[in-house]
Amino acid sequence: MKNKKTFYVTTPIYYINSRPTIGSAYTTIAADIIARWNRLSLTDTFFLTGLDENSSKTVKAAKEKGYQDIQKYADDMAKEWIDVWKKLNIDYDGFIRTTSQKHKKIAQDFFTKSYKKGDIYFGDYEGLYCYGCEEFKRETDLVKGLCPYHQTEPSKVKEKNYFFKLSKYTKKLLSLVNKRDFIMPKNRRNEIITFVKSGLNDISISRPNNGWGIEVPFDKSQNLWVWFDALYNYKSGVDKKYWKGTVIHLVGKDIQKFHAVTWPAMLLSTGESLPTTIFSHGFFTVNGQKISKSLGNAIDPTYFANKYGVDTLRFYLIREIPFGQDGDFSEESLKARHNNELANDLGNLVSRVLTLVDNNFKNGLKKSPLDKKLISKLNIKNIDSHMQKLELQQALNETWKFINECNKHINDEKPWELKGKELEKHLYTLTESVRVIAILVSPFMPEASEKINKQLNVKSGKLKDCKLGLMKGYKIKKGEILFRKIEQEEPPKNSVELKEEIGFEDFDFRVAEIKGVKDHPNADKLYILLLDVGKENADDVQIISGIKDYYEKQDLIGKKIILLKNLKKAVIRGVESQGMLLAVSDGKKLSLLTAPKSRNGERIFIDLREKAKNVVEIKDFERLNLLSKNGKIIYTNKYLRTEKEEVVLDKKMKDNLKVS
Ligand code: MSP
C-alpha cells in the first residue's frame, strides 16, 4: 500500500452491551500498532476508535443492569472502555461515540443527501432479523435456521422501512471490490466478489423509532438502522483532510460485508471518496473455544495485561496469529512466548550488551567502525514494507531474526575475551543495534522500548533513525531487567477461567414493598413477609425475617425495604424463604434499610450496574462489607443508591455497623 500524505486507520466501533473482550482488544491493539508505525515514519496519522451506542443491544443491556436512564448507562460504559484502552496503551487520536450530537447531525445529513439523490425510498419489509448482528438475514445466511455468529434464531419482522438502493451500485461495486488493495487479505476479497456477483438486493435502512437512536431527519416515526448510522462514524469522527490520504478500515471478518459493500455504496451515493483498504482480520478462539459475549466465556484483556504486562499481551497477540488469519489464544503459549522471545531473546540481548558496556566503558563508549557482518543482517526496508502491507506478524518475525543474529554474534565473537579497539567495535555495533531494535519494537511494545532508551540514555527515535552508526557514542545507565521470566505455576489451572472475587455487583439487591406480614407458625421471633418486587416479577416474594422484636406488623406494611433477591433459597423451620432483607443492628436496636421514594423492583447500585450472579450464598453475603454511615450505607466509600435516592436507615443508628 503506497502511503499518501496522510494516513487514517480505524477500528470498528464497538457495541457497549459489554466491556472490551480480548477480541475487541485484538483489533484495537493492531490498529494502534499500525498508527504508531506510521507516526514513526513521520506520516500525518489519525487513529480513530469508538463506540456504537445506538443499538437496541444498549437498551437491553441497560435494562438488564437496572438502569432507567439509558444514556447514563452509555456514559458509564464509555468510561469503562476508555479505561481499558488506557491500560492497554492505546494511543488513539479520536474517540467517537455515536450518541454525540456531532455524529447524529452528520449521520442525518448524509441520510438526507442520499434521500435527495433518490437512493432512499419507503416500502414494506418482511424478513428475519438477527438482533446480535443487527441485520436482516437471508435464509441462505442461516445454518440450521440459526445465525452462525450468535447461534440464535432470528426474529420474524414485518414493518414499514426506508430502503437504500444498494442494487443500483452493483456494477460499480463489482469493479471496486476487484481492485487489488481494496479488500485485504486476498481470500477475503474473493468472498466479497462472489457475494456481489450473486446479486445485491436493496436493503432496509430504518427501524421503527423505539426512543433510542438517531431519527430519520424527515420522519420521526423511524430511526436510522444502526449500521447505517454506525458506518458514518468514519466520517463524523475525523477531519475531512484525512479522507484525502490513505484510509484503512480494520474489521473482523464477520463484519467485512458491511464495510466492503454497504459502506462504499453509501459513500458513492453521497459522492464521497472511498477508503483505500478494508482489512479483515481473522477470528481467534481461546484455548480452542469460540469467544462470545453471549456464550459467556469472553475474557478480559486487562486480566492478562495486569498479570503479564501490557507489552507481553500486545506482543503475543500479534506474534502468535498471522494478521488476517484465524488463530488461537492460550495463556500457556503467551507464557512461552514471554519467556522465550521477550525474556530470553530480547531481554537477554539488552542485558548482555549493557553489562559488557557498563563493565568496560563506564566513562563512555566511542563511535567505532561497525562490524559489517552483523549490520548486513538488518533490513529496515523489508520490515517497513511488511508493515505497509499490514503483515504485522512478519514485521515482528524479521525484527526477531535480527535480535537473534545479535545474540549469535555475541556467542560467536565472545566480546568478553576481547580488549581495546576490537572490543569497542563489537560493543558499539551491538549498542547501535539495540537502539535500532528499540525503535522497531516501539509500536508493538511502547513500554519496553522506553525502558531500553532510558538505559541507553537516548531519546526515542523515529524510523529515519534506524541507521546503524548514527550515534557519536554512548554513556549508558544500566537499569532494571526488561522482562522477568514467568515461573511455571504448579497445579495447571484452567487458564481461561478468571478467578474473580465476588463483589458488590454480584448481589441482586432490589427495592421491595412489604405487602403482608404473618407470624411464622413454628418460631416466636420470626415473621413471614410478602414482598412486591415490581412489575417484572409477577409473583410476590416470600421471605422469613427475624425482626419481630423490633417492628410491629402495622409499621411494616407499605415500607420499601431492600431485598437480597438472588440468595439461595432456604427452608427455615418448615417455611421457604426466597431471599433476605437488609438491616443493621447494634445489639439493642435494629434498623431496616429503606428507599422510600423508589420504584418496586429497582436495582440498588453504587456506580456501574453489572449483571448479578444467578445465585449467591449467605457466606458470600457475610463477606460483603456494607456499613452504616451518616444514616446511609456505604460499600468501599460509595453510598448504595437507586436512580432517585440513596438507601437510608429508617432509624437513627451509629456508624460502622455491618449490614446483615
Ligand atoms: N458495532 C459493530 C461494528 C460497527 S463498525 C461501523 C460491531 N461491534 S462488535 O463490538 O460486535 O465487534 C467489533 C469487532 O470485534 C468486530 O470486528 C469483530 O469481528 C471483532 N471481534 C469480536 N470477537 C472476536 C474474536 N474472537 N476474534 C477477533 N475479533 C473479534 O460489530
- Per the CB < 8 A criterion, the answer to whether 261 and 289 are in contact is no
Residue 410: phi and psi, rounded to 5, are -65, -45
Fold of 332-474: Isoleucyl-tRNA Synthetase; Domain 1 (1.10.730)
The class (CATH top level) of 6-303 is alpha beta
Q: Determine the distance separating the centroid of ligand 1 and the alpha carbon of 28, expressed in angstroms.
A: 10
Ligand 1 contacts CB of residue 23 (under 6 A): yes
- The tally of CA atoms less than 13 A away on the side-chain side of residue 168 is 15
Among protein residues, the one whose CA lies closest to atom 5 of ligand 1: 12
Q: Of the candidates 13, 67, 51, which has an alpha carbon nearest to the alpha carbon of residue 611?
A: 67
pLDDT, tens digit (0-9, with 9 covering 90-100), for 111-130: 999 999 999 999 988 888 88
Q: Is the CB of 284 under 6 A from ligand 1?
A: yes
Helices 348-360 and 446-456, axial angle in degrees (round to 10): 10
Atom number, ligand 1, closest to the C-alpha of residue 284: 27
Could you tell me where in the chain the CATH 3.40.50.620 domains are found? Answer: 6-303
- Asked if pLDDT for residue 288 goes beyond 80, the answer is no
- Residue 489: predicted pLDDT: 59
Q: Where do the CATH 1.10.730.10 domains begin and end in the chain?
A: 332-474
Question: In the predicted model, is pLDDT for residue 498 greater than 70?
Answer: no
Q: Percent of the chain at pLDDT above 70?
A: 96
Closest approach atom of ligand 1 to CA 230: 6
CA 234 to ligand 1: nearest atom: 6
DSSP 537-564: --SPEEEEES-TTT--HHHHTT-EEEEE
HSE (CB half, 13 Å, CA atoms) of 90? 30
pLDDT of residue 229 exceeding 90, the answer is yes
DSSP string, 227-280: HHHHHTHHHHTS-GGGGSSEEEEEEEGGGHHIIIIIHHHHHHHHTPPPPSEEEE
Q: Is the CB of 291 under 6 A from ligand 1?
A: yes
Q: Is 27 in the pocket of ligand 1 (CB under 6 A)?
A: yes
* Percent above pLDDT 90 for the chain: 73
Residue 55 phi/psi, 5-degree rounding, is -75, 155
Query: For 29-67, what is each residue's pLDDT tens digit?
Result: 999 999 999 999 999 999 999 999 999 999 999 998 889
Nearest CA to ligand 1 atom 10: 14
The answer to whether 608 and 639 have CB atoms below 8 angstroms apart is: no
Q: Is residue 52 lining ligand 1, measured as CB closer than 6 Å?
A: yes
Q: What is the rounded average pLDDT of the residues 554-563?
A: 94
> What's the rounded Cα separation, in Å, for the pair 439 and 380?
11
Ligand 1, atom 22: closest residue by C-alpha: 23
Tell me: pLDDT of 615 over 90: no
Confidence (pTM): 0.76
> Does 494 have pLDDT greater than 50?
no
Nearest protein CA to atom 8 of ligand 1, as residue: 14
Look at ligand 1, atom 7, and give the residue with the nearest C-alpha.
Answer: 14
Second-level CATH architecture of 504-649: Beta Barrel (2.40)
Shortest-distance Cα residue to atom 30 of ligand 1: 23
Q: How many CB atoms are closer than 10 A to CB 54?
A: 27
**Which pLDDT score, from 0 to 100, does residue 488 have?**
67
Cα–Cα nearest to 130, from 146, 113, 111: 146
Which residue reads 444514616 in cell numbers?
631
Mean pLDDT of the chain: 91
Using CA positions, which residue lies closest to atom 21 of ligand 1? Answer: 23
572 DSSP β-pair partners: 575
Q: Does any ligand 1 atom lie closer than 6 A to the CB of residue 443?
A: no
What is the chain's length? Answer: 660
Please tell me which residue, 550 or 502, carries the higher pLDDT value: 550
All CATH 2.40.50.140 domain ranges in the chain, comma separated = 504-649
Q: Does residue 200's CB lie within 6 angstroms of at least one atom of ligand 1? A: no
Determine which helix (DSSP H) or strand (DSSP E) holds 23, and give its type and residue range: helix 22-40
Residue nearest to ligand 1 atom 27, measured at CA: 283
Q: Is 17 in the pocket of ligand 1 (CB under 6 A)?
A: no
Q: How far is CA 515 from CA 108, 123, 248, 522, 561, in A?
A: 50, 51, 61, 21, 11
Confidence class of residue 4 from pLDDT cuts 50, 70 and 90?
Answer: low
- Determine the atom of ligand 1 nearest the C-alpha atom of 253: 19
* Ligand 1 centroid to residue 485 C-alpha, Å: 33
Spatial separation of the C-alpha atoms in residues 132 and 122, rounded to whole Å: 25
Confidence of residue 620 (pLDDT cuts 50, 70, 90): confident
179-193, 438-452, 545-559 — most confident range? 438-452
